[in-house]
Amino acid sequence: MNLLGTAKARVKSGELGAWPVIIGLVVIWIVFQTLNDRFLTPQNLSNLTLQIAATGTISVGVVLVLLLGEIDLSVGSVAGVAAATLAVLAVRHGWGDVAAMVAVLVLGALIGVLHGTIFAKLGVPAFVVTLAGNIGWQGLQLFLLAPQGTINLPYQGFIANLTHTNLPPAVGWVVGALVVLAYAAAVLVNRRERTAADLPLTPVRQAVVRIVGLAVIVGATVAVLNAWQGVPVALLILVGIVAVIDLVLRRTRYGRNIFAVGGNAEAARRAGINITAIRISVFALASFLAALGGILTASRGYSAGQSTGAGDVLLVAIAAAVIGGVSLFGGRGSTYGALLGSVVLGSITSGMFLLQLESSIRYMITAAVLLAAVILDALSRRGRRSHGRE
Amino acid sequence: MSGISKRFGAVQALTDAELEVYEGEVVALVGDNGAGKSTLIKVIAGVGPADTGEIRWQGRPVHIAKPHDATELGIATVYQDLALADNLDVVANLFLGQERVRGGMLDEVGMERQARELLTSLSVRIPSVRVPAAGLSGGQRQSVAIARSLLGEPRVVLLDEPTAALGVAQTAEVLDLIDTLKARGLGVILISHNLADVRAVADRVVVLRLGRNAGEFRADETSQEQIVQAITGALDNPVTRRSAKKENP
């Protein structure tokens, strides 16, 4: 009906949601498929999901920090030091895979507590604290890996299996169906509760469109992945983290408090929220997820090296969050944005790899996409302001 | 409360100040800048306890050392700079720091229903309780801030300059809301610079000058000139001189 008019009004008032990114993703896919017909094959798309598992996980942690209106520049180095510690414990000291992983995750959380405490208690800007962390943890990573520089992990075992296991096709379909059913059930229960409480409901059509839309996306993903080796467990880990953290952000007091601190820290403090504890815990979570990302990286490459977590890992993790619509100004965004942004950046990396382009070109194009996303964020913020919504 | 004194270093901010408020009554606290209004409010709210003096609550002496003590007694404070988070919707702002939880998750349905009931009972008109606070007018924001203070079922509400920076229509909205609070049997302490607003809603006007009580008036029996006189402490003050100049140029 009046779809075009609505779209126009939304562009002007800055309520675009994820649409520009989704359209951008479709354009990227069409371009790369035209340039190389191997791009949209099940094999390449399966590899894509494995590539984004690690950076996507790190990016979810970045989302949490961005929601506070802060930044964490140390996530790449924390991932690197986590991978190095994992390899040292599992290979040099012969720890069990699970014990080594738990130890590394605890180490990650402690690193975050350290960053968060210096930031929240001593009032040092998060930018500076985590910049020091960026350099310092990378130093520790190199120190741990000396003298070899690289420690190889065994091809068998729990760590390696994390990113080298796929679900059997039938199990993939069952998991996909359960996800859609769980979402539909949540929507139905919510509608029933709102009706019982005599609260206004969103149109039925909107609920149906959302459920069908999710079913289409999940169905297509499972079908494509099953056409190669099945749904990778690493993808399940990433989507699970995204969903759980989103639930925590939107449906718990803790998550509400994070949004409140990011929106107006003084208001949050006066409302009795312990903003110091919120800040420290968010930095702990971010470093915890960075450590998990480091574990996934090591698992995928069967090794921890000097360059694990270095290079563009930090940039990609932050860029994925920003491309996914997480505001750099705090208080706006969701973990699903990080997932979407990771798919966009992963697609670009994968497409350029197929085209055998140099990483120099890849950096420049990634930078251009990031810049476009940030400009969109700034513009939509201005739109919301002029329409009195921020 | 009586005999309240407070000293900041060499500055005697309050000297034996007194203030009483009863149920269903609006008391305006007026005074020039630096008269001690904010200091007195901070004493009541527990933000800055008094050095000496006594606070009696329903006839019995009480001690208010921190904001929590005041909240426990049933004293809610709405500060001048609105404490709303712009990115959160009205429901989230109303329940900020006291969210209702059911089975570990936020009880959004329950909170939304209570928010609607509360705002309707206060005749606060808002397009939707799900719009972010950034989308509200100044008057609506102030109304939401006041409504939030009522969630704790207080007996006394302290309003610090609720109409400052509001337009004419928005000021009227907030004044209506103050009337509603009074009709509900709450005691309201209103701090304001705007004597027209004070005379429109207050039952009694307490004037502070240089940290001391400088007069108490019934709002309906007192002219604005008398209040100004008490605030400035002189019959011959800049306000009367100015109006005299206008009358006899």
DSSP string, A128-179: HHHHHHHHHHHHHHHHHHTTTSEEEPPSSSHHHHHTS-B--HHHHHHHHHHH
Q: How far is B17 from chain A (nearest CA, A)?
A: 27
Instruction: Please list every residue in chain A whose beta carbon sits closer than 8 Å to the beta carbon of residue B85.
Output: 259-260, 263-264, 267-268, 331
pLDDT > 90: what percent of chain B? 8
Model pLDDT, residue A1: 42
* Cβ B115 vs Cβ B135: under 8 Å: no
Pick from B85, B109, B110: which is nearest to A260 by CB? B85
Inspect the interface and report whether the beta carbons of B96 and A190 lie closer than 8 Å: no
Task: Give me the pLDDT at residue B8, please.
Answer: 59
Pairwise pLDDT comparison (B3 vs A366), residue with the higher score: A366
Neighbour-count burial for A74-102, b at 16+ CB within 10 Å, e otherwise: bbbbbbbbbbbbbbbbbbeeebebeebbe
A389 vs B97, B109, B135: nearest CB: B135
Nearest to A190 by CA among B95, B102, B93, B115: B102
Distance CA B80, CA B142 (A): 9
* pLDDT tens, position by position, A104-142: 999 999 999 999 999 999 999 999 999 999 999 999 999
The CATH number for B215's domain is 3.40.50.300
Count CB atoms within 10 A of the CB of residue A266.
13
What is the mean pLDDT of the segment spanning A161-166?
A: 92
| B99 compared with B71, residue with greater pLDDT | B99
Kindly report, residue by residue over B133-187, the tens digit of the pLDDT: 888 888 888 889 888 888 888 888 988 888 887 878 888 888 888 998 888 888 8
Residues of B with CB under 8 A from a CB of A: 79, 81-88, 92, 96-99, 101, 104-106, 108-110, 112-113, 116, 131-132, 134-135
Please report the pLDDT score of residue B7 as a whole number. 60
pLDDT band at B56 (very low <50, low <70, confident <90, very high): confident
- Chain A nearest-CA residue for B68: A272
Structurally, chain B folds into a number of domains equal to: 1
**Res. A359: pLDDT tops 50:** yes
The whole-angstrom distance between B215's CA and the closest CA on chain A is 33
Question: Considering only alpha carbons, which residue of chain A is nearest residue B91?
Answer: A256
Q: Name which of B72, B77, B87, B148 to mutate to probe chain A: the one with the most chain A Cβ atoms within 10 A of its Cβ.
A: B87
Q: What is the DSSP letter of B223?
A: -
Distance CA A222, CA A235 (A): 11
Look at residue B135 in the predicted model and tell me its pLDDT. 84
Please list every residue in chain A whose beta carbon sits closer than 8 Å to the beta carbon of residue B116: 199
Residue numbers of the domain that contains B17: 2-85+138-143+153-247
Instruction: Give the gap in angstroms from C-alpha A331 to the nearest C-alpha of chain B.
Output: 6
Is A201 in CB contact (< 8 Å) with chain B? no
Rg of chain A, C-alpha, whole Å: 21
User: Contact A390/B132, CB-based, under 8 Å?
Assistant: yes
A-B interface: how many C-beta pairs under 8 angstroms?
84
pLDDT in tens, A194-233: 999 888 888 889 999 999 999 999 999 999 999 999 999 9
Distance from B225 to chain A by nearest Cα, in Å? 38
In B, which residues are within 8 Å of A198 by CB distance?
Answer: 113
| Pairing verdict, β B187-191 and B25-31 | parallel
Q: What is the pLDDT of residues A246-290, one digit of tens each?
A: 999 999 999 999 999 999 998 888 788 899 999 999 999 999 999
B-chain residue closest to A261, CA distance: B85
The CATH number of the domain covering residues in A17-165+232-386: 1.10.3470
Token couple for B217? 């008036």
Nearest residue, CB atoms, B134 vs list A251, A256, A388: A388
